[in-house]
């Protein structure tokens, strides 16, 4: 088992320093691989290549006792990636998981706010205090740019180009992307930077754009608390979570006629198939668009 632990540590270093994955992603890979290691230990298997088909079936049965199809699929993907690394580095000669296919996972439902709900949520956030203006600006940017919560809490001052109306993000997998920022969000951002941020920052100096009430960077948990506060205050009938603004951004862009590949670029998706989930969200809108634009239906 010591040898296996050594392999895992080297793999983690590879993910961090060569593939430059985020710490959250690396931790996810490690948790998945540890599930296999614990199973091997419980079944007295000390060699990563000495896993029979029966062992794999028992491992899958073990996973299904506590994991969903989606989770099992992710765990298998992590394990196969680990074995591919071991093959490339010459630590093993075969991968017993190479022929194991992931379970079919039903397409995940994506929740969105419609355009009226987004406008209502944003316009009902007051901005008379420094912290209220900070909050309004964050949510305007979240929707304007299709940002992830990790991107907005890690946004730095030098990532913003006000003159060009552009923002640079370091997104998932440490990938860089640059997106335009809309006029409304830009106006709130300028106002926040000019008036609120310096008052929130106090004596603590850093280059994060959005700061907590103590002047430090906002954590994920802190952002969730801010969102929950406004969701409760506005009594919106839908479950609000940070990613719903990103989902809504993508859907509304496509509803208004944006090209799918442009939306892919704006979201920073590696594969267009990831972006395509948004094309199935609003069948009513597609039907309306069909009857409005099809040349044989106009008459």
Domain 115-290 part of CATH 3.90.1150.10: no
Instruction: Please give the model's pTM, rounded to 2 decimal places.
Output: 0.61
Residues of CATH 1.10.150 domain(s) within the chain?
2-88
User: How far does Cα 182 stand from its chain's mean position?
Assistant: 21
Q: Which residues are identified as catalytic?
A: 148, 172, 243, 246, 269, 278
167 forms bridges with which residues in the sheet?
A: 160, 179
Banded model confidence at residue 202, pLDDT cuts 50, 70, 90: confident
* Span(s) in the chain for CATH 1.10.443.10: 115-290
- pLDDT at position 211 is 96
Q: Which tokens belong to 135?
A: 């909050």
For 112-144, the pLDDT digits (tens) are: 898 999 999 999 999 999 999 999 999 999 999
Per-residue pLDDT for 281 more than 60? no
Mean pLDDT across 248-272:
85
Torsion sign (Cα): 145, 149, 153, 159? negative
Question: What average pLDDT does the segment 284-289 reach?
Answer: 55
Q: Can you give the pLDDT at residue 83?
A: 93
CATH class of 2-88: mainly alpha
Q: How far is CA 15 from CA 29, 75, 82, in A?
A: 9, 16, 10
Q: Which residue's entry shows tokens 């994991």?
A: 67
Q: Which string of DSSP letters, residue by residue, matches 84-110? A: HHHHHTTS-S--TTTTPPPPP-PPPP-
- List pLDDT tens digits, range 85-96: 999 999 888 888
């Amino acid at each position: 088992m010591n040898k296996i632990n050594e392999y895992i540590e080297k793999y983690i270093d590879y993910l961090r320093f060569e593939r430059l994955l985020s710490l959250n992603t690396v931790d996810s890979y490690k948790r998945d691989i540890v599930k296999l290691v614990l199973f091997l230990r419980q079944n007295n298997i000390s060699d990563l290549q000495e896993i029979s088909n029966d062992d794999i079936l028992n491992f899958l049965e073990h996973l299904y006792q506590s994991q969903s199809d989606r989770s099992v699929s992710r765990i298998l993907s992590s394990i196969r990636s680990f074995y591919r690394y071991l093959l490339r580095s010459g630590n093993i000669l075969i991968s017993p998981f190479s022929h194991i296919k992931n379970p079919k996972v039903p397409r995940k439902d994506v929740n969105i706010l419609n355009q009226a709900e987004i406008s209502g949520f944003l316009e009902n956030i007051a901005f008379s205090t420094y912290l209220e203006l900070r909050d309004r600006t964050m949510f305007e940017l979240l929707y304007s740019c299709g940002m992830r919560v990790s991107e907005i809490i890690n946004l730095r001052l030098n990532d913003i180009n006000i003159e060009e109306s552009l923002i640079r993000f370091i997104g998932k997998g440490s990938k860089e992307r640059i997106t335009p920022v809309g006029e409304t969000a830009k106006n709130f951002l300028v106002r926040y930077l000019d008036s609120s941020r310096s008052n929130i920052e106090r004596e603590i100096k850093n280059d994060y754009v959005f700061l907590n009430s103590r002047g430090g960077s906002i954590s994920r948990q802190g952002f969730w608390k801010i969102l929950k506060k406004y969701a409760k205050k506005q009594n919106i009938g839908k479950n609000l979570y940070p990613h719903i603004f990103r989902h809504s951004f993508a859907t509304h862009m496509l509803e208004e006629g944006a090209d799918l590949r442009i939306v892919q670029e704006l979201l920073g998706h590696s594969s267009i198939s990831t972006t395509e989930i948004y094309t199935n969200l609003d069948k009513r809108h597609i039907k309306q668009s069909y009857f409005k634009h099809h040349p044989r239906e106009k008459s």
